[in-house]
Amino acid sequence: MQASILLDESTNRTFTNLDEVSGKVIVRSTKAADVDDIVVKLEGESRTRLVNHLGPNGEKMKPKLEFHKILYRTTTVFPPPTLAQDRISTPVSGRPSYTLPPGTHEYRFSFKVPFNNSCHEPAPPKSSLSKVGISDWGIEIPVIPSHHVKKTLPPTLGGFPGEAEIRYFVKVTVARHSFLKENPRAYRPFNFLPIESPRPSPTGSQVYARQRHVFHVSSQAAELSKKGKMKNMLGIAADATPTVTSAGPANGLAVSVDARLPEPAILTCNQGIPLTILLKRGNYSSEQVFLSSLQIMLRSSTKIKADDMSRTEQSSWIIMSKSNMGMAVNFLSDEEGSEAVIDNDLWRGHILPNTIAPTFETCNISRWYSLDIRVGLAHRGSASAGKQQVPQTIILPLRLECAIFSGILPPPSVLERMAQARDTLGEAPPYIASNISDGKLQAETALNSAVFRPSDDASASQSAPPMPPRPGQGGLHAEEGLADAPPSYFDAVAEGAPPVIAPRPEYAPGVVREEDLRRSEKSGW
C-alpha cells in the first residue's frame, strides 16, 4: 500500500494566511486491506537544537531541544460519514476497521490557514515523545515548553541545519488495522509567508544615522604650522608669512554623512530600498570631496532558544557594492552646512533577495534586521610647491534598524475588523526598534541615530530619542507585549474572511532535505 498527496496549487506557490490548502490524497493498494482511518494533517513546526560542547567540569553535554507545534489542523477523509458497508468488528482493540478494496482511491481535503500560531493550545497527544531522537550524545528528548508566544504565524525558515528551522507541510497517515504492518505516510511541504501587519500612516519624517569626519589639512598648511611651532620653541619672532586660505581652516575639511529611511523604517520583501544618502559640509571650504565606494548590506539577527540556552546567529546579504568610483560630490556651495544628495540610481533596481524572511517572533525563534551602509569618501587636498597631494580616503559605517514586511497586503475586510479590535483593546506598543546591538560597529563609530523631521534642526540632535524594545529583547520569556499585541491578528478576525487576492512575492527559504521530511513520526533530528 502506498499513499501520496497532490496539492491543487503548484509546488512553488507561496501560501499565506486565509489561504485554502487543498488537494487530494491518493492511496494505491494491490489487494484488499483493513484500515482504521485515513487522516490528513496541516502542520507547522518550529524546532531548535543547541549544543554546549563542554560542561562546567569539562564533561560532554547533551544538546538542548525545544519543539513547538505552531500549526495543527486535522481532518479524516476515510471513512466518510456515509460509509456503512465492509465494516468488521474488532474485539481486540474495540475500534472498527474498514476494508479498503484493491485499486487506486482518491480523497479530497481542504484546510484554511489561520492567522495566529496554535502552540498555546493543548499539544496533540504524544507530541513530545514522538520527537525523541538518537544521536552521538544518546537519546535526545525535547523539553516540554512552558512559554508560548501567540502571534502571527512565522514564515518558513531555513539556513540553520540541525540548529533551527520552521517548516509547514501536509501529512497523511493511513492507519492499518494490524500492528504488524507499517502505516503508509506521505508528506508535502510548502512555503509560507504571512500577511503583513497594517502599515502605519507615513509621518513625513525620516529615521537617520549620521557619521562625521574631518580630513587632515593640506601638506603646505601643515608644513607652515610646523615651522611656526619650531620658531616659537626657539624664541624666534614669527615672520609675516601669509596664511594659506585655499587649504581651508587649520583643523581640515569637515564633512558629515547621513543615511535616511522614511519613518517608520520598513523594507518590503522583493522590493527596493527607499534610502537617501546625504553629505553636508561641516565648515567653509572650496575643496572637492569624492565618493570612492559604496556598500549597502542587510544584516539579520536570529535569536534561537532551546530550553535554558539561547544563541543569536548573524547573517548578511550584500544588496549592492561599488568601489573605485571617483565620483565628485557636488555641494550646493562652499558655505558651511551646504548639502549634496547622492544619486539613488546607484542602488535603484537592487531589490531584497527572495531568501529574506520578514521580521517575526515565535516561541523559540525571533528575527530582526538592520541596514548597514558603508560610504567611502576621498579628499585630494591642495598640491603644494610642485608636490602632488596624496589622497585621503575614509570609510564611514552607518547602521539603521529596520523591519521587513512580507509585501502581502491584508484584505480590506480584515483591516476593518482589526480597526474595531484596536478600538476595543487599545493601541499596541511599537514594533520597530532602533537599538544598536553590534559592539564592533559601536567601537568603529560614534553613531547618532534619531528621527529627522523637516522642521527640526538635525545638526542640533546629538543623541537618539528613547526607542521601543525590539521583538524578543530581554529574552523570549519576557511577558510584556508578547501576548495578543498587534501586529498579531486575532483568530476571530479570520472567521469568514475570504482568501487573500494580492501579489505574492517570491520566497525561497532554505530547503529541508526530503529524507528529513520522510522520517517516521517517532524519529527526531
Q: First and final CA of the chain: distance in angstroms?
A: 27
pLDDT tens, residue order, the chain (525 aa): 999 999 998 767 899 999 999 999 999 999 999 999 999 999 999 999 998 776 677 777 788 899 999 999 999 999 887 764 445 444 445 567 888 899 999 999 999 999 888 886 555 554 444 455 544 445 667 777 778 888 899 999 998 988 999 999 999 999 998 888 889 999 999 999 999 888 888 888 999 999 999 987 654 444 544 455 455 555 554 444 433 333 344 457 899 999 999 999 999 999 999 999 999 999 988 888 999 999 999 999 999 999 889 999 999 999 999 999 999 999 988 888 899 999 999 999 999 999 999 999 999 999 999 999 999 999 876 555 455 566 789 999 999 999 999 999 888 877 777 677 666 655 443 344 333 334 444 444 444 555 555 444 433 333 333 333 354 443 333 333 333 333 445 566 666 777 788 778 889 886 555 444 444 344 444
452 and 510 housed in the same domain: no
Say how far apart CA 153 and CA 167 lie, in whole Å.
11
- One-letter amino acid for residue 493 of the chain: V
The total of other beta-carbon atoms located within 10 Å of residue 514's CB is 9
65 and 150 housed in the same domain: yes
- The full 3-state SS of 185-236, as one line of letters, equals EEEEEEEECCCCCCCCCCCCCEEEEEEEEECCCCHHHHHHHHHHHHHHHHCC
455 and 510 housed in the same domain: no
Say how far apart CA 232 and CA 451 lie, in whole Å.
48
Q: Is residue 225 part of a domain?
A: no
* Residue with grid cell 483568530, as numbered in its chain: 491
351 and 370 housed in the same domain: yes
Task: Report in angstroms the alpha-carbon separations of 522 from 124, 303, 525.
Answer: 14, 28, 10
CB 358 within 8 A of CB 193: yes
Question: Residue 493, Cα to own-chain centre: how many angstroms?
Answer: 25
pLDDT of residue 9: 84
309 and 188 housed in the same domain: no
pLDDT of residue 346: 95
171 and 210 housed in the same domain: no
Q: Is residue 223 part of a domain?
A: no
Q: Is residue 42 part of a domain?
A: yes
Q: In what order do the strands lie in the sheet with 103-112?
A: 2-7, 20-29, 103-112
CB 221 within 8 A of CB 250: yes
308 and 166 housed in the same domain: no
**Is the backbone peptide bond immediately before 79 cis, with ω within 30 degrees of 0?**
yes
444 and 512 housed in the same domain: no
175 and 267 housed in the same domain: no
Say how far apart CA 220 and CA 354 lie, in whole Å.
53
CB 51 within 8 A of CB 61: yes
Q: For the segment 74-101, what is each residue's pLDDT rounded down to a tens digit? A: 999 998 877 644 454 444 455 678 888 9
The maximal CA–CA distance of the chain, rounded, in angstroms, is 119
Give phi and psi for 363, each to the nearest 5: -60, -45
**CATH code at position 152:** 2.60.40.640
Total number of domains constituting the chain: 2
462 and 511 housed in the same domain: no
CB 437 within 8 A of CB 405: no
Q: Is residue 179 part of a domain?
A: yes
Say how far apart CA 274 and CA 344 lie, in whole Å.
9
CB 379 within 8 A of CB 290: yes
Q: Is residue 493 part of a domain?
A: no
DSSP secondary structure of 96-139: -EEEEPSEEEEEEEEEE--SB--TTSPPPTTTTGGG-EEETTEE
Give phi and psi for 174, each to the nearest 5: -95, 110
The total of other beta-carbon atoms located within 10 Å of residue 441's CB is 16
Q: Which residues pair with 367 in a beta bridge?
A: 302, 360
For the four alpha carbons of 31, 37, 79 and 97, in that order, the dihedral sign comes to positive
pLDDT of residue 148: 86
66 and 186 housed in the same domain: yes
Q: Of 166, 267, 186, which is closest to residue 509 (Cα–Cα)? A: 166
Q: Is residue 309 part of a domain?
A: yes
Q: Is residue 337 part of a domain?
A: yes
pLDDT of residue 108: 96
DSSP secondary structure of 251-313: T--EEEEEEEEESS-EEETTS----EEEEEESS-----EEEEEEEEEEEEEEEEEETTEEEEE
Would you put residue 481 in left (φ > 0), alpha (ψ -120 to 50) or beta? left
Q: Which residue range(s) make up the domain with 330?
A: 206-214+251-405+410-471
Say how far apart CA 473 and CA 467 lie, in whole Å.
12
CB 358 within 8 A of CB 155: yes
pLDDT of residue 203: 84
- Burial string for 15-25 (b: 16+ CB within 10 Å, else e) reads bbbbbebebbb
pTM over 0.85: no
80 and 147 housed in the same domain: yes
Residue 517 is inside which H or E element, if any?
A: helix 514-517
